[in-house]
């Protein structure tokens, strides 16, 4: 009760005093370990385990507390070692086995994670471990295990009686990417299987592009469904608008795309359509982001407004920036008003051409107030 009230120091003192008076108070030792774990006192917890939890019946609990502490500190190797030792003592321990599968996933050891999840599927009723099993089995390409867990969960999916990858349209969903810099971004994707989806939303020129990535996700959404609002209809506040967001675990097939912005004065429908056709011939996808409200002041005629254009050009990643820059320069050379591609200019190799293009972007941006 003291620990529940955030009085960890007082709780620790009471528990230690009890242990000194009753050396065989196993339950109190375990509770003290939990208090130290909640307080993040790893060194004190390790000392307690070494001193009081090396023999039965506390040895397994000692491994569990150590594993939880090491995982919290980000030492996944040590956490896995403790969980493995626990399973040697108690192979039937389902919660530690599921926890070890999660740790193995985070270590990138998907085959090992799948092995533990398969054990759980063979020994436990259908549950969350089946969803996790489908995720790991999809990553390693074991579609028989994906189908087995899908049947256990009574999912109605086309192709369960077939073999090989499951790839059927299952509607839109949202997936969350964790980037290398720690940023997180959500995108709409078309679900193609129980735990797979292909991204259909552009990231834009200032982010890593994930368009057309085929991903495998964790079926546990990062935004749980709202609780019922208590008026008897079973609906939670905002439940009708709830969209689950699934965290991406791995990219199975990269889309291989990179997006650049095109900005400037609209050249007219004919010239714009010709440019779009040429970019599409290179494998690009062009999405206009501006509307009729996007206008620029004419620097040569005060009071006159010029229609603007702002678009994303999602191009194959294999297309070098210098090559695309050269093509855009050639294709827009005859336009009355300039078009710029700021991020593409910044991505050019160091040298005179990059400096000239950056200067042009700055001049056009200032002149037309882009």
The token pair at 40 is 């993040």
pTM (two decimals): 0.84
**Domains delineated in the chain:** 3-152 (1.25.40.10), 172-224+242-253 (no CATH), 257-368 (3.30.70.260)
Where the chain has pLDDT below 50, the residues are 1-2, 4-7, 12, 14-16, 18, 232, 234, 236
Per-residue model confidence (pLDDT) at position 229 = 66
Q: What is the DSSP letter of 267?
A: -
Helix axis angle, 143-152 to 128-140, nearest 10°: 160
Per-residue model confidence as pLDDT tens digits over 78-134: 999 999 999 999 999 999 999 999 999 999 999 999 999 999 999 999 999 999 999
Per-residue model confidence (pLDDT) at position 231 = 56
Per-residue model confidence (pLDDT) at position 2 = 45
- In a 3-state reduction of DSSP, which class is residue 315? strand
Per-residue model confidence (pLDDT) at position 270 = 97
**Burial letters 241-272, b for 16+ CB under 10 A, else e:** eeeebbbbbeebeebebbbbbbbbbbbeeebb
Per-residue model confidence (pLDDT) at position 143 = 97
């Amino acid at each position: 009760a003291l620990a529940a009230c955030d009085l960890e120091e007082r709780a620790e003192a009471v528990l230690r005093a009890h242990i000194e008076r009753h050396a065989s108070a196993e339950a109190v030792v375990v509770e003290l370990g939990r208090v130290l774990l909640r307080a993040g006192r790893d060194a004190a917890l390790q000392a307690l385990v070494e001193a009081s939890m090396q023999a039965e019946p506390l040895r397994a609990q000692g491994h569990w507390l150590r594993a939880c502490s090491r995982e919290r500190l980000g030492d996944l190797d040590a956490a896995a070692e403790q969980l493995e030792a626990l399973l040697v003592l108690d192979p039937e321990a389902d919660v530690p086995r599921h926890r070890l599968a999660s740790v193995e996933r985070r270590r990138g050891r998907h085959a090992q994670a799948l092995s533990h999840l398969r054990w759980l599927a063979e020994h436990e009723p259908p549950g969350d471990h089946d969803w996790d099993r489908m995720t790991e089995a999809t990553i390693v390409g074991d579609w028989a295990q994906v189908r087995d867990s899908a049947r256990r969960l009574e999912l109605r999916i086309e192709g369960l009686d077939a073999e090989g990858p499951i790839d059927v349209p299952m509607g839109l969903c949202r997936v969350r990417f964790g980037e290398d810099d720690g940023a997180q971004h959500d995108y709409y994707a078309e679900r193609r299987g129980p735990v797979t989806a292909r991204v259909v939303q552009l990231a834009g020129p200032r982010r890593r592009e994930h368009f057309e990535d085929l991903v495998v996700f964790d079926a546990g959404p990062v935004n749980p469904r709202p609780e019922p609002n208590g008026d008897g209809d079973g609906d939670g506040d905002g439940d009708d608008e709830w969209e689950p967001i699934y965290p991406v675990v791995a990219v199975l097939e990269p889309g291989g795309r990179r997006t650049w912005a095109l900005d400037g004065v609209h050249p007219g429908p004919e010239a714009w359509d010709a440019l779009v056709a040429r970019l599409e011939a290179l494998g690009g996808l062009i999405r206009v982001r501006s509307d009729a409200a996007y206008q620029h002041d004419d620097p040569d005629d005060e009071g006159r407004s010029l229609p603007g254009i702002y678009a994303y050009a999602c191009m194959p990643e294999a297309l070098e920036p210098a090559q695309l820059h050269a093509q855009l320069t050639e294709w827009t050379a005859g336009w009355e008003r300039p078009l710029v591609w700021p991020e593409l200019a910044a991505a050019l190799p160091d040298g005179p051409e990059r400096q000239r293009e950056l200067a042009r972007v700055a001049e056009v941006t200032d002149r037309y107030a882009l």
